[in-house]
Structure 1
Amino acid sequence: MIPALRQLWRSVGFRLAFYYGLLVAITMLASLAIVYMQTVGVLQQRMVRQVAASVQQLVVRHEARGLEGVAGEIGHLLADDRHSDNEVYLLVDREGRKLAGNLDQMPSSAPDAGDGVHRRVLRGGQGAIAYLVMRPLPDGTTLVVGHDLRDQESIESLVASASAAAGIVAVLLLIGGTFVFRQELERSVGAVRRTAARIAAGELQERVAPSGEEDEFALLEQDINAMLDRIESLMDGVRHVSNTIAHNLRTPLTRVLVRLRAVELGLPPDDAQRGAVATAIRELEELAVVFEKLLQIAEVEAGARRQQFAPVALHVIADDVAELYEAVAEVQGIVLRRMPCEAATALGDRDLLAGAVANLVDNALKYCGAGAVVCIGTQTVNGRAQLFVQDDGPGIPAAERERIGVRFHRLDRSTPGHGLGLASVRAVIALHGGQLAFEDAAPGLRVRIDLPGGGD
């Protein structure tokens, strides 16, 4: 329940609707509170003044005409039909016997003399809540004057009902507002999201379709389209540079290598220049490899190959790579194992993923000594496809793990390489929306590839 509410709260439409409904509810409740204070407050003040005036009138009548005058006046007040439904009167003698009034008996919890309090009373056999004032008279009798609070209770009930209705209206506004806000946001933002997804897939020519309205979202669409124009221009420049490198550098480099090989073949085996030519050939071949890897990384990071994504069986790739490197591992005295062998399917480019896995296995074999064990494993965890390459070699210090995969960064300069292999692996995994993790295998290193599942 709580995760579902958290997910719902992440919706901008829900939050806006919630705040809007809350604001309406607060406004309604504040208005009802004002009405209540103005209505019930005025009634309360008028009732207190009326009761006080009645008490004073009856006290004066007692001074003038005694008990008979008070009883007669009470009878007259109850018979004039002006406020007889709400008026409360009671006159009792020293022993508490009723002499006049419309109360059946003295309240069980009698109010203090002179204080106005709320008490439950019996009038005509029916119970009610009344505001009472008690006044002892000089002859030992007691006068009780009050006012029935049924009208005030009715108003309070009405305000409570109105408050409940306001709460229901706020909930309805929250539900309806959530739907309306989400629809409006999806209409305005959905086009931007869909265009961004296509751009991320490598379709750099895509643009947000104009909505035809003149609001903040239209301005956002214009800014995004201008940004995309600039990005496409920059990417075209990158591609142009890459093509220039490929054509203007690789082609002449290949020609130089061909000529050097021809020169090498034409030199006698014992010629001193033959060694220099061979060294030059090796260095140029390494330079060609660097060019090739840089161009491959640039192509992967451009994201153009996302369009070729399809479900890929990682466990089959692991089987193929293990079979490919089995002979190499045997020559180096390293045991290459394929475990665990669980099925794992991801959405991606098979060739790129196979190249990344081969790169990881090649690194493991390169940096492990004879007698080491290298494992290639596949598994599915929480719907995600995982492949890992683990060895029991010297491993990598924790401080260096974050720099692994940085272009041209190498931990061991004495080992042949260019520092581009893991950089290309990082680029491939990032292209697939996955994660590349380097973990301590104690001993050795465990490199884990975690990719979104590709379904059945």
Structure 2
Amino acid sequence: MPKSIAARLALGYGLLLAISIAIVCGVFYFGTIGVLDRSVDRKLVVLSARLAAMYLPEDSSRTSAEIAHLLTDRTDSDSEIFLLLGADGRRISGNLSSWPVADSPAGKLLHVNVTREGRVVPARLMIRDLSDGSRLYVGRAMLESDSIRTLVLRSIAYGGGVAIVLMVAGAWLFRRQLEARIGQIRRTAAEIEAGDLSQRIPVASDDEFGKLSRDINRMLDRIEHLMDGVRHVSNAIAHDLRTPLGRVRNKLDGALRQQQTVAAYESAAQSAIADIDDLTRVFDKLLQIAAAESGMRPEYFSDIDLQQIGADIVEMYEATADEQGVLLVQMHGPDLPARGDRNLLGSALASLVDNAIKYAGQGSTVEVSCGQDMAGAWLAVSDNGPGVPASELPKLTQRFYRLDKSRHLPGNGLGLSIVAAIAALHGGSLEVEDAAPGLCVRLRLNH
């Protein structure tokens, strides 16, 4: 048995087609020849019965005259066989020179060779015993039927030969096509294995291979996205975390090199601890992003109320907003049921509210709302603060990205990245829009 699945499928296809051709040819042959034989047999039975009924033991001339008429009426005269034998075995009439022996069974159709008009021919015979011991032979020379049988067999042989050639060609083409489609997948896999994650399997049709290729391409898109994220985080850590680590080292090194008081040492240590705590928070947020992007199966989601999540977050941040001189409000409405992870969505909304309070500025208003449209349910936080330049909006979800005017404020540029990852986990997206004035960030869930 070939090891290649393409070869096995082609072989199986060829064998199945060969069996099908053999069955069709067999049905055609036996159907055609069988119809001819049955037609001849019916005629022989009817004709022999008619002649036997007309026979009179005391006068066979009537039957002999009918036989002579049938042999000269030019209707199948070249193939008809008749023989009337007396009780003593003497030929009374007919056109046979030799015939089956006397003990041949009567009342049955026989396929025998007889001598008709000096020529040995294959024939179908019906033998009937008459009332006075005489015998009547009625038959048909099968030369024409044998010619038809030979023609049918020859046609089957030619047609079968052509079918086998086409079958082999079809199996070969089937194998080539299957190997070509599998080869595309293997070549793409080899290029990806070599490090080119941008390669995708060509999708040329909507058949099973096309659907499989699309599924694999979606998987590759996901892998490339995760790998890009890992690469970006690695680069960000290498560049953005080097500065705070260097600052911690410089502070500690300076404290060791200079002769300072205990209070100065304590101040340097506390400053270093604060910087290390900031680094720890950065790593915690990176872990949050990784956890969200790793995916959670939807069956782990539960029924939640987005309106209630919004109310809880507003209540949590009211005191902070008052301290910052910001008015935090919620657009109230009916319950808005959805499915998702309550803790993750609450964390995402809290991050959006925290950012809005931090960057909107004193005297501004931050509004928390939720709703549903044709695209699905959503949570939104908007403010009427200074907003963000339109050219900067697409960059806000990039990890470690911060606006120049906000670099003096606490933060690390990971908040919106976490929210975007949580939105993607729920099959949705994060939309950042100009609220004119201010900014509107909408966390959209899958419909």
- TM superposition score normalised by structure 1: 0.45
- TM superposition score normalised by structure 2: 0.46
Q: Which has the larger radius of gyration?
A: 2
